[in-house]
């Protein structure tokens, strides 16, 4: 794909196209990237992953903390492309494609989830990836009416002195409203009311009219977008379920938890979630027996974004330690779990998915909990095996050995860490002493040089004074020796 990033294509049976849609000339309008099954043609253009240079500036400011790094990001990512067809025709679907509204995370934007959106579209979904205008995107823009000038909206940091919950809670409600407005846009299209996109991409939204099933709609998002999806599910009756990727549950007020009665699939990474956040998810799980919480081991928070496909060293430089699970495998697990969940709760059939062992496995994981379920053949309860005291003692000893081994390993790591810190401190002290010594030597040398210069200048001045006195004495003597002769002549 060029550049430093190679995004994977979709693995479903459909070719995937995409286009950008902007509705309205104010920040209260909508801006999104649409992924859809398409009729791909040979030589189709692939869109840039980072669509404008300004997005590199926003990413540099939010992710690296230095806006001047935008030039480096432009060099690294400027030529990276998404493996989909740009503005290609929609593939007709007599039954209508199900719809997913996707919400991005904090400090990102609409194109940074192209891999998961492409994968879902390849299995027969239309995916609308929003770019939020609440100040949570790395940057975004709107186009004014008339002149058509662009008004850029920068990332908004937490104002000084303001509590983060109230600030983020206001943003998450704004985001949920944008998800609902996006749904209204597609519902209007299905009813024959088309708001034209002001970007003039040459892709007519009206082609969706007879090819979209707006009775089968889900909302999905990552991190801040994950909790946005949960809130949108509460606010909008037409959303039938939600998929929350590593949801940041912090901004959601406690009063809303009893209102989440529809199914949610939480797909978490191994390192991001806190016990408090998981407890909040479990509260939702208790409200609906169809809600599920899945943790993908060996993954980190960024593995659910396109950044997962960066080279290892570049990923570590920007985000720190990466996950141990291969990013392609992580994407496959996430997408298969989401597809199985959506298939169940949107009442759709994905035949190609059903044939896969992975799809069947997730169907098993996501099957409803039923108190009335009974086995097909009644089985007698298994006989309990008698355990002797000797075996219990052996198990206890083995457990104690494992505990001691683990404790020893932890102590060893702590000792190594302390030793490393000691070495670093000692090195810093030595460098400081060396610097002080060098500075002192330079100062002493400079003072000695200044002293020598002063002494040389004083010696030169004294020499000039002696020569001047000598000259004056010679003049005086010459004058005294000359005066008697002049007197005789007179």
Give Cβ neighbours of residue 137 (< 8 Å, ≥ 6 apart).
Answer: 58, 104, 107, 108, 109, 131, 153, 155
Q: Which of 70, 142, 223, 285 is catalytic?
A: 223
Q: Which of 104, 132, 301, 345 is catalytic?
A: 301
Is 223 annotated as catalytic? yes
How far is Cα 343 from Cα 330, in angstroms, rounded to an integer?
Answer: 20
Q: Which of 246, 277, 303, 306 is catalytic?
A: 246
CB–CB of 223/250 below 8 Å?
A: no
Is 246 annotated as catalytic? yes
Of the candidates 14, 224, 261, 201, which has an alpha carbon nearest to the alpha carbon of residue 130?
Answer: 224
DSSP state of 192: T
Is 301 annotated as catalytic? yes
DSSP state of 220: E
Q: Active-site residue numbers?
A: 223, 246, 301
């Amino acid at each position: 794909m060029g550049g430093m990033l190679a995004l994977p294509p979709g693995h479903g049976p459909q070719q995937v196209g995409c286009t950008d849609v902007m509705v309205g000339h104010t920040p209260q309008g909508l801006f999104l990237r649409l992924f859809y099954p398409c009729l791909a043609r040979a030589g189709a253009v692939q869109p840039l992953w980072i669509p404008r240079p300004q997005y590199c500036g926003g990413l540099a400011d939010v992710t690296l903390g230095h806006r001047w790094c935008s030039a480096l990001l432009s060099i690294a990512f400027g030529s990276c492309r998404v493996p989909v067809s740009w503005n290609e025709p929609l593939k007709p679907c007599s039954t209508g494609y199900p719809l997913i509204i996707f919400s991005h995370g904090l400090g990102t934007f609409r194109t940074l989830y192209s891999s998961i959106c492409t994968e879902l579209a390849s299995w027969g979904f239309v995916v609308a990836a929003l770019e939020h205008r609440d100040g949570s995107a790395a940057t975004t823009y709107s186009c004014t009416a008339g002149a058509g000038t662009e008004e850029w909206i920068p990332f908004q940091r937490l104002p000084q002195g303001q509590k983060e919950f109230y600030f983020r809670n206001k943003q998450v409600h704004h985001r949920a409203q944008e998800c609902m407005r996006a749904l209204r846009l597609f519902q209007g299209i299905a009813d024959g009311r088309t708001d034209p996109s002001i970007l003039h991409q040459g892709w007519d939204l009206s082609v969706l009219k007879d090819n979209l099933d707006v009775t089968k709609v889900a909302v999905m998002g990552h991190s801040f977008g994950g909790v946005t999806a949960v809130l949108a599910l509460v606010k909008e009756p037409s959303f039938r379920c939600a998929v929350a990727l590593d949801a940041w549950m912090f901004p959601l007020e406690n009063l809303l938890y009893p209102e989440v009665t529809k199914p949610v699939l939480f797909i978490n990474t191994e390192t991001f979630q806190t016990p408090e956040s998981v407890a909040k998810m479990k509260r939702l799980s208790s409200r609906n027996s169809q809600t599920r919480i899945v943790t993908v081991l060996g993954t980190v928070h960024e593995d659910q974004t396109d950044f997962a496909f960066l080279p290892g060293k570049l990923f570590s430089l920007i985000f720190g330690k990466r996950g141990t699970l291969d990013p392609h495998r992580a994407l496959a697990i996430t997408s298969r779990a989401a597809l199985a969940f959506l298939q169940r709760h949107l009442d759709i059939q994905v035949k190609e998915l059903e044939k896969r062992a992975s799809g069947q496995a997730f169907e098993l994981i996501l099957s409803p909990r039923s108190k009335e379920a009974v086995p097909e053949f009644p089985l007698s309860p298994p006989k309990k095996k008698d355990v002797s005291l000797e075996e219990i003692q052996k198990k206890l000893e083995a457990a104690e050995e494992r505990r001691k081994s683990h404790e020893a390993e932890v102590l060893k790591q702590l000792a190594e860490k302390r030793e490393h810190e000691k070495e670093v401190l000692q090195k810093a002290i030595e460098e400081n002493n060396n610097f002080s010594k060098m500075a002192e030597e330079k100062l002493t040398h400079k003072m000695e040089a200044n002293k020598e210069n002063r002494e040389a200048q004083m010696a030169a001045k004294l020499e000039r004074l002696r020569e001047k006195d000598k000259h004056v004495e010679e003049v005086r003597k010459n004058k005294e020796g000359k005066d008697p002769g002049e007197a005789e002549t007179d």
